[in-house]
Every structure is written in C-alpha cells, then in structure tokens.
Amino acid sequence: MNEILLTDFAPGKIIKRYIYIPENFIVFSRYHTPTENDINRLKRFNLEGFFYCKDEIQFLETSPDIPDILIDKPDSSAMEPKSIISQPDTEKIFEVQKQEDTIQHDVIQSEKKEDEASQKVQLIHGEITIYGSTVALLHREFSLISKGNKIDVSRIFKITSIILNYVSKTKEEALLQVARGRSKYRLEIHSVNTGILAALISYHLQVKGKDLINVVSGALMHDVGVLLLPDSSNIDAEKKHTLYGFQFLKSIKNIDPVLVIPSIQHHEKAHGNGYPNSITLENIEFSSRITSICDSFDNQISFIKFGNDISIHSTNDELLGWKKEDFDQKIFIASVNVINSIFKNNSIVILNSGDLAVIKKVGIRFPLNPVVQIIADKNGNKVREQKIIDLIRAKNIWISRFVKRTVS
C-alpha cells in the first residue's frame, strides 16, 4: 500500500487518474483540477491522505500535453458527480485492489486474443476521442459480463462520470457523435449513446446528485441482458434480454434500484402494450421513462440510416410503429426541446465532407438528423444549385460541427 498525503494534494495540479475510495465513492473524476475549496472539503471529512496501490494515482503539472485517452481536458468548472466521502478502510481497499487486479488480468488476456478494445478506441476516424474511449471502457465491462463474470459497479460509475463531464461541457459534440449513427460495435455504441442522451435530458430536468449518477448508469447498462441471452435466434427469445439484464444487475451487492429498473422496463409503453409485463405509465419508474426515450431515439437513427440488421433487439414493426404517445409526454417534450435548442433551424454547420450547410428542418421523430441545405463547398465556393440532404437517410454524411447558431 502507498499513501499520498493531503498536504501533497495541491491546487493547480491535474489528476491523471481517478481518485476514489471503495464502496463506490468517486472522489474526483479524471482530469479534474482540485481547488482550495476541494482541499477544504476533504479536510472537513478528517481525511489526512489517500491510500492507493502502485500507479493508481498520478499527478501531472498544469501545462503538459494530455496523453492517453483524452484529446482535450475538461476545465475545472465541469459539473461532476461527487459522493459523500468516508474514512478509508485500508484492508477493504487492499481487497478491492486485489479483485481489480484479477479483473484487469482477465481483460488483458482477452485483449491479447481479440484486440477488440483497442479497435474501439480508434472508432472515430482513427482518432482517440472521449467518445471512442468511453466505448472502449464499456467494451471491457461487457467482455467480462459475456464471460460470466460479475462487475464492480464503481467502474460503471467511472464511465458515467466521463459521460456527465462530456455532456455538461461539450454537449454539442456529444450529440453529434450520437446523431452520426454507426453500423459496427452496436451494443457498446448504442449503450453509450443512450447514456449520453440520458445525461442531457437529466441535466435539463435538473436531476442531481446520486439520482443523476444512477439514472445515467441505468441507461448505460439497460441492455446488459443482451450479453446473457442463451438463444437470440427468434424475437421471443430476444425479448427475454430484459429479464436476464434485471436478474444480473439486481444480484450486484448494494446496487441502487434506480440503476437496475431500466433494464427490465425500457420496452414498456405508456399505454401498457410493451413488454415484458405490459405495465402502464404510472407503474414505469422515472429512470426507465428517460431510458426508454433515449433507447428509442438511438435505435431509430440506426434502423433508418443503416437498415434492418442494425437494431439491437427491436423488431421491424416495433421500430416502424414508434410514436411519441408510447412515452411519458412531459419527458418526451423536454427531450425534443433540449435537442432542438442545439439543432436549431437556420443554424450553420459543417458536414464531414467539408461542405457548409444550413439546417432547414428539424423533425420531432429524428431531431438529431435534420434536413440541411448545402450553401458552399469545402473550398468555400457558393453552391448555385439547391442541394437538399435529409441526414437521417444519408449513411455517409453527417454534421461534423456547428459554425454558429443562426444565419445573421
């Protein structure tokens, strides 16, 4: 065991790795820059230092290039989920570290054979991005689950923390990653997309603290049952992913029900015509209502853009029969409004082709994939002929970034 004293925990240094105490208490997320207030907060809990195992915590000076997993550093004002900090128990920490070492060994062995995780880090045009790295981290957890292993929910909270920081500071970029849609690595990408959308909606609805963490974590893990299906050869078998996921998550010690319930309820519908229990809206939990909308938005994008074989577990009839009345109307309207506050009519955008375009129409069914009109080519030459593109039906065209909000 090693210890870093609180006196060494100085303002103005960037934390390269997570600092956390077991029992799922995340103290600071990665790349957080501690302030004087943070130090004083720790002192109030009578913490003299942090116990950690070798290489678990490292410090960098304030000016280095950010290495490894991120291409940019969230600033110190980023909204972060923080939990109440308790006095560390060195024996518990040592035991948790032993368990994590065992899990890490399994992950390394798996990656040597398949090298899938490293591929997922490079998903976005071969670049290492926050989005691609989050997909890679979730892939590691899903690999363990598919091999029959339990997971440490604190690692899910770490991924959730990354998503919450990502959405709170760069929500435009996060939504553009979701809007793009992808035809590969569907389970991990669909889960991350659902988590991103759940974070955005939760922030808008002012969900806070522990509830915020659990709602987004529940959205992130809502389809975990897909990994556990013994037979996915027919629709009836696929529908059992809700039951398998629920049984798996609720078996995890000390896990919050807010995180577990979306796994079994995310296909329930407001009027009682969903599955597995055909319950109506008043019996669907708040976290499940958010996850259901986010799950449907992302599945719709993939289904329309890439075809019938892309959806994780939804039938063609279910996807084509999607309607807003299936959901909690207040949450649905809130979700469309918050997306439309970013994807506004007349906003100027740059497409991945380099062309300059203006958003002409944002639909309620596909608010993340609007209709755009090309106004200039990648060389800045004005386009004389009118060229309209419906992005929901364009596989290889997507919005790369926003230029400004509206045409002046």
pLDDT band at 34 (very low <50, low <70, confident <90, very high): low
pLDDT (tens digit per residue) in 167-184:
999 999 999 999 998 877
In the numeric block, which tokens belong to residue 122? 């490079």
Higher pLDDT, 198 or 406: 198
pTM: 0.69
Higher pLDDT, 116 or 305: 305
- CA gap 192, 356 in Å, rounded: 28
Give burial (CB, 10 Å; 0-12/13-18/19+) of 167: buried
The pairing of beta strand 25-28 with beta strand 49-52? unpaired
What does the pLDDT read at residue 233?
Answer: 61
Q: Is the pLDDT of residue 81 over 90?
A: no
Please name the amino acid found at residue 262: P
What does the pLDDT read at residue 323?
Answer: 83
All CATH 1.10.3210.10 domain ranges in the chain, comma separated: 143-340
**Cα-Cα end-to-end distance for the chain:** 60
Most confident of 127-131, 196-200, 207-211: 196-200
Q: Is the pLDDT of residue 12 over 90?
A: no
Instruction: Read off the pLDDT of each residue in 243-271 and give the average, rounded to a whole number.
Output: 93
Stretch among 39-53, 230-244, 258-272, 372-386 having the lowest mean pLDDT: 39-53
What does the pLDDT read at residue 42?
Answer: 57
What does the pLDDT read at residue 87?
Answer: 36
CA torsion angle 264 269 275 277 (round to 10): 80
What does the pLDDT read at residue 384?
Answer: 84
Q: Is the pLDDT of residue 395 over 90?
A: no
What does the pLDDT read at residue 15?
Answer: 53
Higher pLDDT, 115 or 234: 234
| Residue that the structure tokens 């809700």 belong to | 242
Question: Is the CA virtual torsion 147, 153, 155, 160 positive or negative?
Answer: positive
| Residue that the structure tokens 């380099």 belong to | 354
What does the pLDDT read at residue 294?
Answer: 95
CA torsion angle 283 285 289 294 (round to 10): -140
Q: Is the pLDDT of residue 212 over 80?
A: yes
pLDDT band at 363 (very low <50, low <70, confident <90, very high): confident
pLDDT (tens digit per residue) in 128-147:
588 988 999 999 999 999 99
pLDDT band at 77 (very low <50, low <70, confident <90, very high): very low
133: left (phi over 0), alpha (psi -120 to 50) or beta: alpha
Share of the chain above pLDDT 70, in %: 63
The residue length of the chain stands at 408
Q: Are 27 and 87 in contact (CB under 8 A)?
A: no
Q: Are 263 and 156 in contact (CB under 8 A)?
A: no
Say whether domain 143-340 belongs to CATH 3.40.50.200: no
Indicate the angle between helix axes 209-220 and 286-306, nearest 10 degrees. Answer: 40
Instruction: Read off the pLDDT of each residue in 8-20 and give the average, rounded to a whole number.
Output: 54
